[in-house]
Amino acid sequence: MLVIPAVDIQSGRAVRLLEGNPEQETVYFENPVEAALHWQAQGARMLHLVDLDAATGRGENRQVLRAVAATLSIPFQVGGGVRSLEDARALLALGAYRVVVGTLAVKAPEVLGQMLAEWGPERVVVSLDARGLEVVVSGWSEATARQVPELAQPLWAMGLRTLIYTDVRRDGTLAGLDLEGVRAVRSAWPGFLIAGGGIASEADLLGLKRLGVEGAITGKALYEGRIDLRRWVQG
C-alpha cells in the first residue's frame, strides 16, 4: 500500500489542522520545503500537498509550492482551492505531478471532464471530503446532502481513475479511521482508492490494507511518530 505523507501549508508553514479548522493549527515545520525533504529522506514515494489558504479563500502559497517542486526528486500531488482549469494548469506548470480537485468535481463536473481530456487520469485526482459519507465542499464549510458512493460512480464513468476519500470529522484528531465508511466507498469505487482522515496508528493502515485500499494519506500520525514511514516503504 502506498503511504503518502501530507504537507498542509497555511501562511507559508507546514501545519496540521484539527477537523479542518484554520484557527486550530499545529505548526510542525516553519518551512514546508524542510517538511517535504524530511519525508523524502524517510523514503516517501509521493507527497500530498494542500494549500489551505487557497482552499478557504484566504490567500495562496504558490511560491512555497514552487520552492518545494524545485527541491524534491519524488512526485507530489497538490490540492486546495483548485476551482478552475487555469488553477490546475498553473499547479502542473510549477511542477506538481498531479492536481487534486474537490469542490470543482461536485459543482462543475464539466470542468473536471475538460481536465481529464487535457491531461488524462494520471494527472488528475478527485478528493471527496465528507462528514461520514456526506460530501462537503468549499474548504469543508458547505454540506451537499450527497453521499460519496453516489458521486463515485459517475466520476468513474467520466474517466477518473484515482479517488481520495477523507472523513473530515476525524482529520487531524488521531481518532482512528471509520473503516465502515471506507468499506462503503471501496464497494462503490473500482479504481485506485486513497483514504485519510483520522489515521492514528499502523493498525489503521493494516485495516485499509485488509479492505483492499491502495493508498493512505496521513499527516499527524507521521509527524508525531506513531507511524514509521520507513517500515511501510519497505513493504
Q: CA angle, 2 as apex, 197 and 37 as ends, to 5°?
A: 85
Q: Tell me, yes or no, if 178 is annotated catalytic.
A: no
Question: Cα separation of 43 and 2, whole Å?
Answer: 11
Interstrand relation of 142-147 and 134-137 (parallel, antiparallel or unpaired): antiparallel
Q: Which of 53, 87, 129, 204 is catalytic?
A: 129
Overall size of the chain counted in residues = 235
In contact, 219 and 197? CB cutoff 8 Å: no
In contact, 195 and 225? CB cutoff 8 Å: no
Residue 93's Cβ-count burial label (10 Å; 0-12, 13-18, 19+) is exposed
> What number of other Cβ atoms are within 10 A of residue 15's Cβ?
25
Question: Cα separation of 187 and 165, whole Å?
Answer: 13
Q: Tell me, yes or no, if 8 is annotated catalytic.
A: yes
Catalytic residues: 8, 129
